[in-house]
A = this chain, B = another copy of it.
């Protein structure tokens, strides 16, 4: 289940401003640019050869990422592993306590689903699983 990293996510104040670095200076290509979570978040994916970097901008103050940004400032937010079979992975993760029973999948980029592990089980590091 933890074989392939899908992306590493960076929370930013303003994706357009961040692209002045990530796209213009570092030369990375955009592979997805979407608004998800009922308008709450803008997700932009940048391709490197072996995985993706996700820029994450809260668009709604009520979204948890907005609160995180207020507390921490811009920076690295989470790691996301890709799983082939998302439903099986969720069932396994819930059965083994890695995901809390009440947590529901959320929208990921590229129309995938995603879910966060219980951070108590990963010593504070936010870890997401995504898949179809």
Contact = CB atoms under 8 A, between A and B. Distances in A.
Interface string A6-27: 0010101000011001000111
Describe A's contact surface by its main secondary structure. loop
A115 to B, nearest CB: 15
Interface residues of A, number: 35
Interface in A65-116: 73-79, 81, 98
A4 B125 contact: no
Interface in A26-55: 26-28, 48-51, 53
B79 A8 contact: yes
A5 interface: yes
Contact of A4 (B10, B12, B50): B50
A121 interface: yes
Contacts of A4: 48-50
A5 B48 contact: yes
Nearest to A3: B49
Q: In the complex, which of the residues A12, A122, A123, A124 has the most CB atoms of chain B within 10 Å of its own CB atom?
A: A123
B27 A2 contact: yes
Contact of A28 (B2, B50, B73): B2
